[in-house]
Amino acid sequence: MGLRAQVRDGLTENGRESSLNADCLTGLYAGDLFLGLRDQQTPIRLSAGDLDEAVVSFLAFDDPGEDSGSPFERSDAFRTGFLGEKADCDAILG
C-alpha cells in the first residue's frame, strides 16, 4: 500500500527515509480502515491480532543488506501512520 501511494505522489527514490515513509503510509491506510474512514463496498475489519502481524512481519522479513530501517524504526513509522495523518508520514521524508 505504502509503495503504491508513493508512486502516485511521484516519489520513486529508494532509501531509509522512503522505506519508513512507505511503512507510515501503510499504517495510515490500516488506521483509516480500523476507524472506518475508507468508503468500502465490502467493509474490511481489523483486529488486534492483525496489528501484531504487522509488527511480526517487520521482524521476520528484515533484510540486513537493505537500509530500510530497523524493525523497531519500521514499527514506529507504521504506528505513526496508524495514529496520525499523511503530514506525519511526509515529515519522515524531511
Give the model confidence (pLDDT) of 39-90 as tens digits: 767 667 777 788 788 888 888 887 777 888 888 899 999 999 999 999 999 9
Task: Assign 12 a pLDDT band (cuts: 50, 70, 90).
Answer: confident
Task: Assign 91 a pLDDT band (cuts: 50, 70, 90).
Answer: very high
Cβ–Cβ under 8 Å, residues 15 and 67: yes
Task: Assign 18 a pLDDT band (cuts: 50, 70, 90).
Answer: very high
SS3 41: coil
Q: Note the pTM of the prediction, 2 decimals.
A: 0.82
Decide if pLDDT at 23 tops 80. Answer: yes
Distances (CA, A) of 63 to 43, 49, 68: 33, 24, 8
Decide if pLDDT at 32 tops 90. Answer: no
